[in-house]
Amino acid sequence: MGQLAGRRCLVTGAGRGIGEAIAAGLAAEGARVAVLDLDQARADAVAAQLPGGAIGVAADVSDPEQVAAAISAVEAAFGGIDALVNNAGIDTNASVVDMSLDLWDRMIAVNLRSVFLCSKAVLPGMLERGWGRIINISSQLAQKGAPDMAHYAAAKAGVIGFTRSLAYEVAAKGVTVNAICPGPVDTALWRAIPSGWRERKVSELPIGRPARVEEIVPTAVLLASDGGAYYIGATLNPNGGDIMV
């Protein structure tokens, strides 16, 4: 029996990268997992590889109607959602001087508004059952900042503020809300960043390399489990030593 046996989990942006790895890690611990991504075919393909009756669901996490429909569909299929991992995210690069309002707004919508929308949608069921886990994937850049990523860092810092505030609201009702702040992780998102930026970032890391996606998974499994019950509004930092707190 895995430590998540009987738990029903939803991971956003789980069609690839960190989200796919977290979905696999939760399923390996016995959870039934809903793989949410923009692309239904990719979500289905990831779900088909997972044990435990995983399903795929498509939605743009920045869109209120699509989020409501997707979460209703998962709740209908599973009978409820015990753990939500708000992982879906995008990355773009521009200095503030050159940044368009559209680029800024899209970043805030996908990386921050989504966390509000998905959390709000799953909370009533969690509060009714008196048990829930919300795990928000922020970033070490929220804590440290970085050139050409002011919009990304602002969105991810907003995720931390949201995490702490929601944690106050629901901790005594059996629902924990926490954030994970990974350092660089070797995914498509990371590889799309200009090489000079990536080389500078890696040179700042005591460990001297980006993480593999599997190195973020144990933190998510801990926070999703009964063993994570005493983490409230925390930010856990698998970041290669970039920030030591």
**Interface residues with ligand NAP (CB under 6 A)?**
12-13, 15-19, 37-39, 60-62, 87-91, 110, 137, 139, 182, 184-185, 187-190
Q: 230 catalytic, yes or no? A: no
Token pair for residue 55? 């399903």
Residues paired with residue 135 on neighbouring β-strands, in sequence order = 85, 178
Q: Which is nearer to ligand NAP, 19 or 158 (CB)?
A: 19
Which residues are registered as beta bridge partners of 10?
34, 84
DSSP for residue 210: P
Min. distance of Cβ 228 from ligand NAP in angstroms?
A: 19
CB-nearer residue toward ligand NAP: 13 or 132: 13
State both tokens at 73.
């569909």
Question: 39 vs 105, which CB is nearer to ligand NAP?
Answer: 39
165 by Cβ neighbours in 10 Å (0-12 / 13-18 / 19+) ranks as exposed
Residue 34's beta-bridge partner residues? 10, 55
From the CB of 140, what's the least distance to ligand NAP, in Å? 6
* 180 within 8 A of 238, measured Cβ to Cβ: yes
Residue 153 is which amino acid? A
Rounded to the nearest whole angstrom, what is the least distance from the CB of residue 172 to ligand NAP in the complex?
28
Q: Indicate left, alpha or beta for 4 from its phi (over 0: left) and psi (-120 to 50: alpha).
A: alpha
Rounded Cα gap, residues 44 and 35, in angstroms: 7
From its phi and psi, is residue 133 left (phi > 0), alpha (psi between -120 and 50) or beta? beta
Least distance between ligand NAP and beta carbon 185 (Å): 4
Q: Which is nearer to ligand NAP, 88 or 167 (CB)?
A: 88
Q: Which residue has the tokens 């939605």?
A: 59
With respect to ligand NAP, which residue has the nearer C-beta, 112 or 131? 112
CB of 139 to ligand NAP, least distance (A): 4
Q: Is 235 helix (H, G, I), strand (E, B) or coil?
A: strand
> What residues act catalytically?
152
